[in-house]
Structure 1
Amino acid sequence: MPFFKTTQLTPQYTKLLDVNSQKCGLRHTFFETNGDEYNGEWQNNKKHGIGTQIWKKSGTFYNGDWKFGKRDGYGRYSALVPKTKNYELKYDGNWKNGKKHGYGTYFYNKSTVYEGDWSEDNRSGSGKIHYENGDIYEGRWMRDKCHGQGIIQHVNGNSYEGLWQDGKKNGNGKFYYLEKGQIYEGFWVDGVAKCGTLSYVGKDDALTPIKHPIPKVELVDMELVLRKTQAAHLDQHIKEERKKRGKN
């Protein structure tokens, strides 16, 4: 009967082999079973330091800082363009825990570009965006929507400066009509002007000034009427928002 000599590994030696087999430091390209590729630095078997990742299925590419297996620090994220087979830059900026976080620039397309603050993949803080139609918004953001004080310059010259909420004009604001040489100053609810005053601004330079003059306000206390009306609209808006949240 043949005799086979076996070697039993001690727990300490087994642990040492496992540690030595882990990826640490700078490595050559690492290929995953799904076709993804990574080339860069490692620490304790996780992507850590500077490295480049290619996701085959989504056709995306990242080059920059990593921390414990996630994008963290500064990096550039690109997407593959099928027609040209080249990568097109989508985001250039800061990351945290695998998400866009901090200051960065996102290219939605060649005409629509956002530059400003991010929080967990959402536009939040101060930022400026150039829309595809030529409009430009600059101001505060929250959860990927215009929220707070901001101003939008329309391509036709008109502009709005005031408060925003959930991506719509909400609160006190001023809307300037360039072609008519007028300015509306008042209260807005969900993008609709509810109560305010209309006056002339640069009427002589207006392209298409109105033919009939704005009638004079003959109220004894115009400001009081405006405040009461605004308060009523605000109260109604709050009630409607509560109903919506109750349904959800």
Structure 2
Amino acid sequence: MYEGDWLKDRRHGYGILSKISEDGNIRKVYAGDWAEGRRHGFGSNWYKNGSYYEGTFRKNKRDGYGRIWYKCGSGYYQGAWSNDRYHGEGIFVQENGNLYEGQFINGKKEGRGVFYHFDSHQVQKGRWENDVCVNSTIEDIDYHRQSSLYPTLLRIPRINNQAVPHL
């Protein structure tokens, strides 16, 4: 079921798309901008699995800036999108509260980033390739370390960045 603007027999302008189930319930699917029958511009999308996205679309795909809340609090992403995937700078928060802030390419962590391990109160700064950290430093987050869910047994010492004299 569609309610909104039309142009040349296609959804064009602002409109709301809903689905009617066999039992007669109506579920909103998309509310936002349309161009030539496709989601295009700013809009909100409700997914069947319970996830919700708001942001920009281009030719029916998430593209530009947007944010998504995954079903039942299983994660959150905010940042750049391209061709329906995380692409560019963004922030991803996991269900347990841990957070990655950095670069993404084709939906995966790729490039420089910072991962906050709030469950162990540590911060990891480094470089990721294909969703895997390949080089990083990890240090304790000083505040409330004793209240972390999984604290490390020993404190991680701070790195002293002073130049070493040549002998």
Q: Is the pair's TM-score, using the shorter chain for normalization, greater than 0.5? A: yes
Deviations 1:179-228 (A, max 9, x none): 1110100000011000010011132442321002325658987xxxxxxx
Aligned to 2:24: 85
* Counterparts of 1:64 and 1:216, CA distance in 2: 59
Give the aligned residue type for 1:183.
V
Give the aligned residue type for 1:127.
G
1:173 aligned onto 2:119: no
* More relative contact order, 1 or 2 (CA 8 Å, 6+ apart): 2
Give the aligned residue type for 1:210.
T
**What TM-score comes out, normalization by structure 1 length?**
0.61
Gaps of 5+ in 2: none
Residues 103 and 116 in structure 1, CA contact (< 8 A), matched pair in contact too: yes
Residues 133 and 155 in structure 1, CA contact (< 8 A), matched pair in contact too: no
Aligned to 1:195: 135
* Counterparts of 1:218 and 1:75, CA distance in 2: 58
* Counterparts of 1:66 and 1:126, CA distance in 2: 26
1:119 aligned onto 2:58: yes
Give the aligned residue type for 2:25.
N
Per-residue deviation, 1:96: 0.3
Aligned to 1:94: 33
- Say which structure is richer in strand: 2
Q: Identity of paired residues, percent? A: 36
Residues 38 and 60 in structure 2, CA contact (< 8 A), matched pair in contact too: yes
Aligned to 2:103: 163
* Counterparts of 2:62 and 2:105, CA distance in 1: 14
**What TM-score comes out, normalization by structure 2 length?**
0.88
* Counterparts of 2:48 and 2:25, CA distance in 1: 15
Tell me the C-alpha RMSD between the 2 structures.
1.9
Residues 79 and 87 in structure 1, CA contact (< 8 A), matched pair in contact too: yes
Give the aligned residue type for 1:169.
K
Aligned to 2:150: 208
* Counterparts of 1:88 and 1:120, CA distance in 2: 22
- Say which structure is richer in helix: 1
